[in-house]
Amino acid sequence: MSSPDQLGSRSDPALGFWLRYMESEGALTEDDGERVVVLLTQALQERFGLSEEVAVTSNPEVAREEGALLLLPGHPTLEQAASTVLANGDVGYSYLPLMPGPPISLSTLTTRLRDQVVVDHGRLDIVGQPITGYLPVLRVGALLRYAVSLEHRFQEREEVFVDARSGMAIPPAVERVLSTRALQAGAPTDRSLFTPDFPRAVAAAHSLLISRAETRRGTLAAEASNLLADELARADTYYRAALESIERRIERVEPERQKLLYARAEATKAEAARRRIELEEQHEATYEIHPFRLHLIGLPALTVSAEACRGARRFPLTLTWLLQLNAFLAPICPACGVRTVLVAGKERLGCRECLGHRDGPVTASTSAKPTASKPAASVIPSTSANSTSSANVESQPGTAEPTLVRKTVTPASSRSAGRGIVAAPRRPAPTRRTTPRSSRNSGISRTGDKLATALWNAVRGSGRWRAHGTADHSPFSALFRLYGSSGSAYAIGMPPGEAPRSISSFTYSCWSDLVHLTGGTILSECSSYNYALLWRMEGGEPVVGEVLPTPDFANDPQELLDLPSPLRARLSTKAPSPIMPLDPVASPDPLGSVASLLWELRIRHSLAIAVRALAAWWWLVEKSTEVAGNFGVDLAGIAPNAVADAIAALVTNRDRGDMPGSSSRAQKSEPTLFVEEENLLARLAILVAASPALTWG
C-alpha cells in the first residue's frame, strides 16, 4: 500500500485531492509511480458509478496506453468529490506544537515589552507571573463566486485569520506561520486554551470576507465597464438604425399607415430602453460567499499582565506574547477596541484617536541609507486595522512583498521610530514636465518631504493635520471639507479601507514661480499609488493647495484618460460620497443646487475637477456680498444650471454646456431676473476666474 513518502501521481493537486478524499471514505490505494490503483467500497462505487477496482492518473499518455481513468480539473468524478467536501465543510481543532527550549525569563520579557510595545507618556512594567496557554485563532475559509456577466463567472478562495478572543485580524506574519508550518490535529492537552468568543470572532471573520469581496467586486466592475460600453453601443446602433428605417418609411407612406408606424417607433424606443436596462443588469458584478472551512487553531502564547505608569498613575494592560515568534501582539485600545499605539493620558489609557493626542513628526527621506528592522517585531500591527506597521515589517525570502525600511535612529528614539509612516527607499521618476531640483534648493526639498510625511501620517491616523497647513479656498480645503483627513487618499484613487504603509517623496524644481510640487509613491497593504502635492509658502509656513494622482493632471485634465481603468473609475464614478451634505438647508448658499451639480463633474471628468469647481463655488458664496456690490452680479438672479456651467467651463478649460445633465434647455427652464443673461454670465466668469481655487492648476 502507499506510504506518505511515495508521491508519484499524487503530486498533481487535483488527483491528490481525489485520492485523499477516497482514502478518508475507506478506499484503499496503491501507487506504482505513473498511476494509482484504487479499491473502492460498495458505497463509493454506487456514489460515483465506478467499478470496484479502478486505475487513475493525471498523465494523458498513461491514460491512453494503460487504459487508466484520466482525472483532471473538470472531470465529473472530481467535481462530485469536491462538491461533497464543500457541502460537508471542514471543521475542526488544531494547534501549533511548542518548540522545546528554555522558558523566557521575566527580565528578558520586560525588556522585549519595552522595546516592542509603545505607550506614549508611560513606562511599561510587568506585574505578576505570565500565564502560559494557547492563543485561539479562528481560521475561516470561503469560496467567493463572482459573476461579471452571464458569460464571465469564476470563483476564488479566500482565508481570514482572526483572534478568537477579540475578533481582531491576525497580522500577516502570524498568518504565514499558521499557513506554512505543520499543525497537530485535535485540541491541545498540555496547556489550556485562552477563552474564545466565538460569536464575535465569526462575525468579524465574515466582515473581513465581505470587505475583501467588495474590493474585488469593485475592481472587476471597473474592468468590465468596457464590455458593458461595447454592448450598449451595439444595442444603440441597432435600435437607432431601426428607428431611422421607420422614419424613412413614414415619409413615403400614406397618412393612414403613418399612425401604425408611429406606434411601432414608440414600441422600438421602449424596447431599446428595456434592452439597456437588461444589459446593465447582466453586466453588474455580483458575488456570493460560500464558507467551507472553520478551524480553531491554538498558537502557543503567554498572557502578560502589565501596567502603564505615568507618574503616580497606573493603568492596567493585558498583552499577548507569541512564543513561536518572540514578539508581542500590538495592544488593544480599551475605548475603541483597535490594535494601535496607546497613550497614557492624565485620566485613562487609550489610543491617540480617543484621547486626541498628536503623533510625533516622522521624517521622510529618499537619500538616507535604510536599515532593515528586526524580524522579531514583524508581527506587531500598525495603527491601522487593515495594514501592518511600515517600520516593523520585513518581507520573507521568496515573497513578492516589498521590504519596508526606516531611517537609522539613536537608541534614545528607537521606541518612537515605528509610530508613523516610514519612507520607502525609492524615488519616483520625473514626469516629462518636471526635472529634479538641484542641491541648492535642498531647503525646499526638505520642507516638501516633511509636508508629505505629515499629510500621509494624518491620513493613516498616526497624526493630525494642522489647520494652518491648508491653503484658504484651495482645492485641498474643499477636499478636506468633503472627506476630512481621508480625502487625500481618495484623491489619488486609494479605496476606502486601505491605509498608507510607507511613502517615498521627492520635490521637483520650478513647477511655477510660487507653487512647489512634491510627488512620490504610496504603498498600502494591497497596492501602490502615485501622488502629487501642490504647495507654497505663506507667512513662512508651507500650505497645501491640491492633492492629485499625477503631476501632469494639474495642468491637463485629459491626463486622467491615461490612467489604468480601475484607478480612473475610483477617481470618477466610484468616488466615495461626501461625509457632509453638499447643499444643507441652513447654508448661506443662495443657490441650493449648485454644489450638487458641480459634484456631478466627477462622473464625466474626475474627483479633482469636481473638487476644484466646489472650491471655486464655495469661495464665490463666501464673497457673495462683495460680488453683488463691486461686480454688479446678483447670484440669486442667475439660474443654478447657468452658474454651474460657467464654473465648469473655467475649471475644465472648455466651453459651457460641459455639465452632466445640463443644457441650454435646462437653463431656459429656470427663471432669471436679468434680461442680458449672457453679459451677466460673462461678468460671473471673470469673477470666478479670480478664485484662489484656480491658481493651483
Most confident of 133-147, 437-451, 681-695: 133-147
Three-state DSSP class for residue 55: strand
Provide the pLDDT confidence category of residue 498 given band limits of 50, 70 and 90: confident
Reply yes or no on whether the pLDDT at 454 is more than 70: yes
The partner residues of 527 in beta bridges, in order of sequence, read none
pTM of the model: 0.45
Provide the pLDDT confidence category of residue 558 given band limits of 50, 70 and 90: low
Q: How far apart are CA 392 and CA 273, in angstroms?
A: 56
- The Cα angle at residue 525 between residues 94 and 559, in degrees rounded to 5: 155
Q: How far apart are CA 293 and CA 299, in angstroms?
A: 18
Q: C-alpha grid cell for residue 403?
A: 521590504
Report in angstroms the alpha-carbon separations of 464 from 485, 497, 691.
8, 18, 28
Q: How far apart are CA 220 and CA 129, in angstroms?
A: 52
- The Cα angle at residue 372 between residues 367 and 373, in degrees rounded to 5: 125
In this structure, the chain runs to a length of: 697
Q: C-alpha grid cell for residue 143?
A: 469560496
Determine how many CB atoms are found less than 10 A away from the CB of residue 105: 9
8-88 under CATH 3.40.50.150, yes or no? no
Write out the H or E segment, with its range, that includes residue 17.
helix 13-24
Q: How far apart are CA 34 and CA 467, in angstroms?
A: 71
The partner residues of 93 in beta bridges, in order of sequence, read 296
Reply yes or no on whether the pLDDT at 136 is more than 90: yes
Torsion of CA 439, 440, 446, 449, to 10 degrees: -60
Q: Which pLDDT does position 606 carry in this prediction? A: 83
Provide the pLDDT confidence category of residue 39 given band limits of 50, 70 and 90: very high
Backbone angle region of 86, left / alpha / beta, with phi > 0 → left and psi within -120 to 50 → alpha: alpha
The partner residues of 246 in beta bridges, in order of sequence, read none
**22 vs 121, more confident:** 22
Location of C-alpha cell 531640483: 437
Reply yes or no on whether the pLDDT at 644 is more than 90: no
The partner residues of 160 in beta bridges, in order of sequence, read 140
Reply yes or no on whether the pLDDT at 473 is more than 70: yes
Quick one: average pLDDT of 228-244? 89
Percent helix, strand and coil across the chain, each to the nearest 5: 40, 20, 35
CB neighbour burial string for 129-155, b if at least 16 within 10 angstroms, e if fewer: ebebbbbbbbbbbbebebbbeeeeeee
Q: Which pLDDT does position 280 carry in this prediction? A: 81
Provide the pLDDT confidence category of residue 115 given band limits of 50, 70 and 90: confident
Reply yes or no on whether the pLDDT at 358 is more than 80: no
Report in angstroms the alpha-carbon separations of 51 from 34, 195, 270, 475.
20, 49, 58, 74
Half-sphere exposure of 103 (CA within 13 A, CB side): 9
Choice among 139-143, 499-503, 530-534 with the minimum mean pLDDT: 499-503
Most confident of 4-18, 464-478, 619-633: 464-478
Q: 251-297: per-residue pLDDT in tens?
A: 888 888 888 888 888 898 889 888 888 888 778 888 889 888 899 99
Q: How far apart are CA 616 and CA 619, in angstroms?
A: 5
Q: Give the mean pLDDT of the chain.
A: 75
CB contact at 8 A, 351 and 342: yes
Q: How far apart are CA 156 and CA 164, in angstroms?
A: 24
Write out the H or E segment, with its range, that includes residue 511.
none
Provide the pLDDT confidence category of residue 629 given band limits of 50, 70 and 90: low
CB contact at 8 A, 525 and 540: no
Q: Which pLDDT does position 389 carry in this prediction? A: 33
Residue 73 makes CB contacts below 8 A (sequence gap 6+) with: 14
**φ, ψ for residue 496, nearest 5 deg:** -60, 145
Quick one: average pLDDT of 345-358? 74
CB contact at 8 A, 193 and 298: yes
Segments in 295-432 forming alpha helices (H): 352-355
Q: Which pLDDT does position 360 carry in this prediction? A: 41
**557 vs 112, more confident:** 112
How many percent of the chain have pLDDT more than 70? 74
**651 vs 26, more confident:** 26
Q: C-alpha grid cell for residue 188?
A: 491541545
Choice among 163-167, 595-599, 600-604, 653-657 with the minimum mean pLDDT: 653-657
Taking each helix axis from N to C end, the angle separating 198-252 and 255-282, rounded to the nearest 10 degrees, works out to 160
Q: Which pLDDT does position 554 carry in this prediction? A: 56
Reply yes or no on whether the pLDDT at 317 is more than 90: no
Q: 161-200: per-residue pLDDT in tens?
A: 999 998 888 888 888 888 888 888 888 888 888 989 989 8
Quick one: average pLDDT of 691-696? 76
Location of C-alpha cell 526639498: 445
Domain extents in the chain: 8-88, 375-570, 594-695
Q: How far apart are CA 460 and CA 421, in angstroms?
A: 8
Write out the H or E segment, with its range, that includes residue 30.
strand 28-31
Residue type, 440: R
Provide the pLDDT confidence category of residue 298 given band limits of 50, 70 and 90: very high
CB contact at 8 A, 647 and 613: yes
CB contact at 8 A, 143 and 367: no
CB contact at 8 A, 154 and 217: no
Distance of alpha carbon 119 from the chain centroid: 28
Write out the H or E segment, with its range, that includes residue 310.
strand 286-310
Provide the pLDDT confidence category of residue 338 given band limits of 50, 70 and 90: confident
Residue 384 makes CB contacts below 8 A (sequence gap 6+) with: 460, 461, 499
Q: Which pLDDT does position 592 carry in this prediction? A: 61
Residue 399 makes CB contacts below 8 A (sequence gap 6+) with: none
Q: Which pLDDT does position 138 carry in this prediction? A: 93
- The Cα angle at residue 458 between residues 456 and 459, in degrees rounded to 5: 65
Biggest CA pair distance of the chain: 103
Reply yes or no on whether the pLDDT at 551 is more than 80: no
Quick one: average pLDDT of 237-261? 87
Q: How far apart are CA 126 and CA 361, in angstroms?
A: 29
